[in-house]
């Protein structure tokens, strides 16, 4: 797990880049930490940018903090809506409660919320949300002077912009940047399209994702004649942004001065969080060894924080190489067409113009509930169909997935009765498996290419 060095005057310096995972519920949070997350961010049932009812209660948050701290992890809670005056009192009370529970950081956007957080939760770090649109070192330094310990950069910055910002900010100010997941077509997520089209306020966590809809135009004198916005003769998903995937570019991002790698996806499944957390944590390990910060056993050779305050000019460096399986991982979770965001101006993010749904090439088939070394059998809680001969992989925390075919025989139900295939979700089954598998490992199966939506 992530470690920090406490220096004079309360300065915290990280000894390793942070992998920051999302969570939409308590089970997903636990999965994130089990698969290597250094920290997890989520929203409570109030004042976050996701309004779904499954968000964390105060009791859930207390359990989350205990689970994280027992494992050396940290917990960040979003308080990043743009509040109205009628919400100020209750929001301040809520932040005070979060401080008492012991969350590690509050993620805020509004400057008044930032100042109130310092008063009602004085022992809690303050992280400034990407919603604040921090694009330059002047803004970052001003927020640091107001008490922010971290800024989450606007997604529109290039690597050169980040290097410049890092070079003119104090090293103790942490820099967080998105590295994976859905992107919003509006600047740093500040959008009014959803409110205009559906009455659901994106800046209060209730976005309807109207930008993903298919659009046509209607000419004033020809009502009822829908004219496609010319990309194809079937119309276009005009604002449907690509997803971000920078897994094999994290060397560039970390070299630029970023200290926390943020995975988007509080509405995503536990499988998505497990796979992407495991992938980015593995990539960070490769970076640390190949850049000379750690040896192969993980022992520190050069403290990572010594490299945080970088010059504005790019440092010459040999690119970090990643194993083939790591390149493949982002394509084994539900995703839209990928881009590298705005980090590389010569290849900026665009929109997916031909479809509005997701690409599903692999499906979660089950979660391992036990393994019997005497019989070399694993037990799993089924989620999707597993048919003999089907290509499958077992996703382990901290390592490459193990590929195998679903056994041709030996499949059994919970009572030990033979079955021809596993085809009853939410039931227990077992199968032969020559490799010991830890509880919580995930079994996925290759699916027929499917575009959902």
pLDDT digits (tens, 9 = 90+) for 344-355: 999 887 666 556
- CA pair distance 262, 21, nearest whole angstrom: 6
254 φ/ψ angles, rounded to the nearest 5 degrees: -70, -40
Confidence of residue 185 (pLDDT cuts 50, 70, 90): low
Contacts of 360 (CB under 8 A, 6+ apart): 334, 447, 449, 450, 451, 452
- CA pair distance 362, 393, nearest whole angstrom: 10
Confidence of residue 212 (pLDDT cuts 50, 70, 90): low
In the predicted structure, residue 231 carries a pLDDT above the cut 90: no
- CA pair distance 36, 2, nearest whole angstrom: 10
pTM of the model: 0.86
- CA pair distance 186, 192, nearest whole angstrom: 9
The reported pLDDT for the residue numbered 10 is: 38
Average pLDDT, the chain: 86
In the predicted structure, residue 1 carries a pLDDT above the cut 70: no
The reported pLDDT for the residue numbered 218 is: 65
Beta strands in 195-332 (DSSP E): 216-218, 226-228, 243-245, 260-263
- CA pair distance 207, 95, nearest whole angstrom: 23
pLDDT digits (tens, 9 = 90+) for 2-33: 444 433 333 345 679 999 999 999 999 999 99
The residue count of the chain comes to: 453
More confident residue, 376 or 305: 376
pLDDT digits (tens, 9 = 90+) for 153-170: 999 999 999 999 999 999
In the predicted structure, residue 190 carries a pLDDT above the cut 70: no
Q: Is residue 339 within 8 Å of 179, Cβ to Cβ?
A: no
Q: Are strands 174-181 and 150-152 parallel, antiparallel or unpaired?
A: parallel
- CA pair distance 272, 81, nearest whole angstrom: 25
Q: Is the dihedral of CA 299, 301, 307, 313 positive or negative?
A: negative
The CA dihedral of 349, 353, 356, 358, to the nearest 10 degrees, is: -60
Nearest alpha-carbon partner for 163 in 152, 175, 151: 175
The reported pLDDT for the residue numbered 357 is: 72
Label residues 131-143 b or e (16+ Cβ within 10 Å = b).
bbbbbbbebbbeb
More confident residue, 191 or 267: 267
Q: Is residue 190 within 8 Å of 207, Cβ to Cβ?
A: no
Q: Are strands 412-413 and 428-432 parallel, antiparallel or unpaired?
A: antiparallel
The reported pLDDT for the residue numbered 411 is: 97
In the predicted structure, residue 46 carries a pLDDT above the cut 80: no
pLDDT digits (tens, 9 = 90+) for 118-166: 999 999 999 999 999 999 999 999 999 999 999 999 999 999 999 999 9
pLDDT digits (tens, 9 = 90+) for 298-329: 899 888 875 554 445 456 578 999 999 999 99
Domains of the chain plus CATH, in order, are 18-183+241-339 (3.20.20.70), 362-446 (2.40.30.10)
The reported pLDDT for the residue numbered 6 is: 38
357 φ/ψ angles, rounded to the nearest 5 degrees: -95, -165
């Amino acid at each position: 797990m992530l470690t920090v060095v406490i220096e004079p005057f309360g300065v915290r310096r990280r000894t390793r880049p942070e992998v920051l995972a999302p969570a939409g519920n308590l089970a997903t949070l636990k999965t994130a930490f089990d698969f290597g997350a250094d920290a997890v961010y989520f929203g409570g049932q109030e004042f976050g940018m996701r309004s779904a009812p499954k968000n964390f209660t105060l009791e859930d948050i207390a359990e989350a903090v205990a689970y994280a701290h027992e494992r050396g992890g940290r917990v960040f809670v979003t308080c990043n809506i743009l509040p109205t005056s009628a919400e100020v009192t209750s929001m301040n009370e809520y932040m005070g409660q979060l401080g008492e529970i012991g969350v590690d950081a509050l993620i805020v956007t509004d400057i008044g919320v930032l100042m109130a957080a310092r008063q009602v939760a004085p022992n809690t770090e303050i992280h400034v949300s990407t919603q604040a649109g921090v694009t330059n070192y002047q803004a970052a330094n001003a927020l640091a002077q107001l008490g922010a310990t971290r800024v989450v950069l606007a997604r529109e910055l290039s690597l050169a912009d980040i290097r410049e910002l890092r070079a003119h900010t104090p090293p103790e100010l942490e820099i967080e940047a998105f590295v994976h997941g859905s992107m919003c077509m509006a600047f740093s997520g500040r959008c009014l399209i959803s409110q205009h089209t559906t009455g659901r306020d994106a800046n209060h966590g209730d976005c309807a994702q109207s930008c993903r809809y298919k659009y046509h135009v209607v000419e004033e004198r020809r009502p009822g004649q829908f004219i496609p916005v010319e990309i194809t003769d079937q119309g276009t998903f005009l604002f449907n942004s690509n997803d971000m995937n920078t897994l094999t570019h994290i060397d560039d991002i970390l070299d630029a001065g970023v200290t926390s790698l943020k995975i988007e996806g509080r509405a995503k499944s536990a499988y998505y969080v497990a796979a992407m957390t495991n992938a980015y944590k593995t990539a960070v390990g490769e970076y640390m060894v190949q850049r000379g910060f750690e040896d192969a056993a993980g022992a520190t050779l050069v403290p990572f924080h010594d490299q945080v305050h970088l010059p504005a000019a790019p440092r010459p460096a040999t690119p970090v190489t990643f194993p083939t399986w790591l390149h493949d991982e982002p394509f084994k979770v539900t995703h839209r067409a990928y881009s590298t965001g705005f980090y590389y101006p010569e290849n900026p993010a665009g929109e997916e113009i031909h479809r509005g749904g997701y690409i599903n090439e692999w499906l979660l088939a089950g979660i391992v509930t036990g393994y019997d070394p005497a019989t070399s059998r694993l037990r799993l809680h089924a989620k999707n169909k597993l048919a003999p001969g089907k290509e499958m992989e077992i996703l382990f925390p901290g390592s490459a997935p193990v590929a195998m075919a679903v056994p041709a025989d030996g499949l059994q139900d919970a009572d030990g009765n033979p079955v021809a295939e596993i085809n009853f979700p939410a039931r227990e089954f077992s199968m032969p498996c020559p490799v010991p598998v830890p509880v919580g490992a995930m079994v996925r199966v290759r699916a027929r290419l499917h575009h959902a939506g």
